[in-house]
Amino acid sequence: MLCKEKHFPVVLVAPSGAGKTTLCKHLLMKTPKIKPSVSVTTRKPRPNEVHGKDYYFISKDTFQEWIEAGKFCEWAEVYDNLYGTPKEKLTGYLNQGSHVLLDLDYQGAKALKREYPNTVSIFILPPSMDELTKRLVKRDKLSTETKKRLNSAKKELAKVKEFDYAIINDDIDKTVEKINAIIIAEECKVGGL
């Protein structure tokens, strides 16, 4: 057998509004060998978000206790809220023979790669800055939060070359196909055999 199947974290990073959350949902529906990583956060749930499915919503005090106990493989502060990936779940899925899909920001992806060097990092690009602006304005009008997210997006886009792959998300189905092709290619890499 030429390909040696390996299991690794697959991390998607994108500026807010690039379609990362929708993309993750489609990937999980269409790719059975990928399991979701459910992050822990201190932010308030958005409408329709479910505790334990979309995120684990906890207090800042509890989050701090988890940091001190070493329960996160990565954590970061984003837009005045804390986000982290529980180490136990991620390692469990990998040990069971699944890839693990993570929806992280730039700093979380870098921290995860330090903890799990075989992490495959994919930067999801919006079709254009104009389209990104339209998506963010549609989400919550041109608020202070939207302006903050647009400024952050410009900084994040400057870091795209630090990732293993970059994909323009202009068609959700094609983007899912490209991510699946990346996973297959990574499984078949000769290095490390």
Domain limits for position 19: 9-187
Say if 3 falls within a structural domain: no
pLDDT in tens, 122-150: 999 888 777 766 766 666 655 676 677 77
Domain annotation covers residue 1: no
Q: Domain count for the chain, please give it.
A: 1
Instruction: Kindly state the tokens that stand for 163.
Output: 């990732």
User: Cα–Cα distance between 108 and 144 in angstroms, integer?
Assistant: 24
Q: Is residue 2 part of a domain?
A: no
Question: Is 179 a domain residue?
Answer: yes
190: burial class by Cβ within 10 Å (0-12, 13-18, 19+)? exposed
Q: Can you tell me the distance from the alpha carbon of 165 to that of 78, in angstroms, rounded to the nearest whole number? A: 23
Length of the chain: 193
Structure token digits, residue 156: 């994040």
Look at residue 140 and tell me if it is in a domain.
yes
Q: Report pLDDT digits (tens) over 90-123.
A: 999 999 999 999 998 888 899 999 999 999 999 9
Percent of the chain with pLDDT over 90: 60
Q: Is residue 145 part of a domain?
A: yes
Using an 8 Å Cβ cutoff, are 116 and 9 in contact?
yes
Residue whose entry in the numeric block shows the structure tokens 């989400």: 139
pTM over 0.75: yes
What tokens were used for 75? 């954590």
* C-alpha to C-alpha distance for 157 and 60, rounded to whole angstroms: 29
Q: What is the pLDDT of residue 127?
A: 80
CATH of the domain at 140: 3.40.50.300
